[in-house]
Amino acid sequence: MKISRLIRKCLSPFPRSLQEFRKDQSGGVIVMVALSIIPLVTIVGISVDVARGYMVKSRLSAALDAAALAGGRAFYLDTRDDDINMFFDANFPEGYMGAKVTGPQIAVDTANESITVTASAQLATSFMSVVGLDNFDVASSAEITRSQTPVDVVLAIDMSGSMGNWTDGQTRIAAARTAAKELVQILFGSDTTSNLLKIGLVPWNGKVNITTDGTVFNDALTTSTAVSAYTSPVDGSNQSVVYEVNNSVVPLFSAPPTDWKGCVFNRYVDDIDDTNDADIFYGAGSFGGTDWVAWEPIGPEGEPIGGSDDCDMAVGGNECTRCLSHGVTPLQNSKTTINSAIDDLQNPTGTTNIPGGLGWAWRVLMPGAPFTEAAALADPDKEPLRAIVLLTDGENFGGSGDGYKTVFGYGGTGNADMNSRLESIAANIKADGVIIYTVQFANSGTSLQTLMKTVASGPNAPYYNYAPDSDTLSTIFKEVGSHISELRLTK
């Protein structure tokens, strides 16, 4: 149907008065109506263009918000600006509503750890050109800063013998040192100290050195303290004396040898109570006035698994054992201190006891003895974000010579039981609100992958990560550091 016929058909039902109005020969009314139509059409046209402008500005603001957050997450990564542009383009497609975009412009304030992203868009008008406006501009910006949420992080680094193997022209522990320091750099940024960040370090192999890193054992400073007996909720023998030494936060059941480095056997209870947490935590009793739950001998003579250090585990014997020279670095807020502790991670040796490393990382991270640097806050809403980064290149080894008794056995049986113990510890840690990041390094074993995915707070990155080589390891630690650094949108 022709447009003219369509118009006539639409007008035919109108009242006769309207037809007469149209035939009015005086011309005055028609002129007035014609004159009024021009501003009406202009107003309607302007409204359409303004609505288009609001839509473009809204889309522009959302794209800048997404881009700023992406840049903030990658604040110290080489890909930061690329990430900003990628997220902006993804959220503001080229040619959206015919707009021509300038930007985004990126301004980075390293000192205050903030990013400002701005952009403008020029939009051609559809109707406003009748009043001489051919186009108009809209602009927006977004700013992010590093979150002010307190953060406590513990790095649990595998120091077993295989970490001395070479990968990509360097030892695995050398690659781990580099990657760990990159994570530290991302968390601290330009600060040398921070009131909102504390980082600790737990080196581990088959054992964990519970001394404070850098503290030398002084046999002359060993003292004994009598404690009162109590009724134990689990099987085990009570002690009447504990020993305090200058380099340990943990009281001992017997005086350590003069060449002691700081390790003790993991405590455990009777076979029927293997699921009890007393061998994972500090024990059934507290340190002030009561003793710990002791343990049963691992064998008829009370000796550890064959091939380990000659150290008696029976009650009345010596619970101490030789171990790594690297002690624990408690939570602290100095970039220099934690980097120095990481640099000291040299000469890996020994076997692999992942639950031991993760368990002590948990103790360092949480408030309460034996490490008290993580003070509990009065306001639960201000509790810090707590995280553990666990790195290993190997699977659990049952013959590690610690407190895992012969019920764990050797080989596959012992390893499976240790894996089960690790999963239980990880579940308890996550129930405590702690985020666990796991990094499987230079070991593609599927069984280890399954285990590390279970231990982590999620089965995929950034929680579970596989690093086949040193470069990937470095990237993973940067990404984990960026993920820990929570961000907030300020404008």
Q: What is the pLDDT of residue 76?
A: 80
The two beta strands, 435-441 and 385-392, are parallel
Q: What is the pLDDT of residue 184?
A: 97
Range from 228-232, 239-243, 276-280 carrying the lowest mean pLDDT: 276-280
Q: What is the mean pLDDT of residues 42-58?
A: 80
Q: Tell me: the pLDDT tens digits for 338-347?
A: 999 999 999 9
pLDDT at residue 158 is higher than 60: yes
pLDDT at residue 61 is higher than 80: yes
Q: Tell me: the pLDDT tens digits for 17-28?
A: 445 545 555 555
The whole-angstrom separation of Cα 62 and Cα 75 is 20
Q: What is the mean pLDDT of residues 480-485?
A: 89
Q: Across-strand partners of 202? A: 156
Distances (CA, A) of 166 to 449, 477, 491: 21, 19, 48
Q: What is the pLDDT of residue 409?
A: 45
Please give the CATH number for the structural domain made up of 147-209+324-491. Answer: 3.40.50.410
Q: Report if pTM > 0.75.
A: no
Q: Tell me: the pLDDT tens digits for 134-146?
A: 788 999 999 988 7
pLDDT at residue 128 is higher than 70: no
Q: CB of 84 within 8 A of CB of 100?
A: no
Q: What is the mean pLDDT of the chain?
A: 77
| Angle, CA 381 vertex, CA 380 and CA 387 arms, to 5° | 80
Helix 172-188 and helix 470-484, axial crossing angle in degrees, nearest 10: 20
- pLDDT band for 200, please (50, 70, 90 cuts): very high
Backbone φ and ψ for 233, nearest 5 degrees, come out as -75, -10
Closest CA to 324 of 294, 303, 352: 352
Burial class of 147 by CB neighbour count within 10 A (0 to 12, 13 to 18, 19+):
middle
pLDDT at residue 453 is higher than 50: yes
- Domain limits of the chain? 29-146, 147-209+324-491, 216-322
Q: What is the pLDDT of residue 421?
A: 84
The two beta strands, 435-441 and 100-109, are unpaired
Cα dihedral: 361, 363, 365, 370 (round 10):
-130
Range from 89-103, 174-188, 288-302, 469-483 carrying the lowest mean pLDDT: 288-302
Distances (CA, A) of 80 to 106, 115, 206, 261, 326: 10, 10, 39, 44, 35
The whole-angstrom separation of Cα 390 and Cα 187 is 17
- pLDDT band for 266, please (50, 70, 90 cuts): low
Q: In terms of pLDDT, which residue wins out, 311 or 395?
A: 395
The whole-angstrom separation of Cα 271 and Cα 460 is 35
pLDDT at residue 36 is higher than 80: no
Range from 115-129, 384-398, 472-486 carrying the lowest mean pLDDT: 115-129
The whole-angstrom separation of Cα 251 and Cα 236 is 17
**Which residues contact residue 381 at a Cβ distance below 8 angstroms, ignoring those fewer than 6 apart?**
none
Q: What is the pLDDT of residue 403?
A: 47
**Which residues contact residue 282 at a Cβ distance below 8 angstroms, ignoring those fewer than 6 apart?**
250, 292, 363, 369, 370
User: If you average pLDDT over each of 98-112, 129-143, 272-286, which comes out highest?
Assistant: 98-112
Q: What is the mean pLDDT of residues 358-374?
A: 91
Q: What is the mean pLDDT of residues 421-437?
A: 94
pLDDT at residue 2 is higher than 70: no
In this structure, CATH architecture of domain 29-146: 2-Layer Sandwich (3.30)
In this structure, the number of other CB atoms found within 10 A of the CB of residue 469 comes to 13
Q: What is the pLDDT of residue 399?
A: 55
The whole-angstrom separation of Cα 106 and Cα 229 is 66
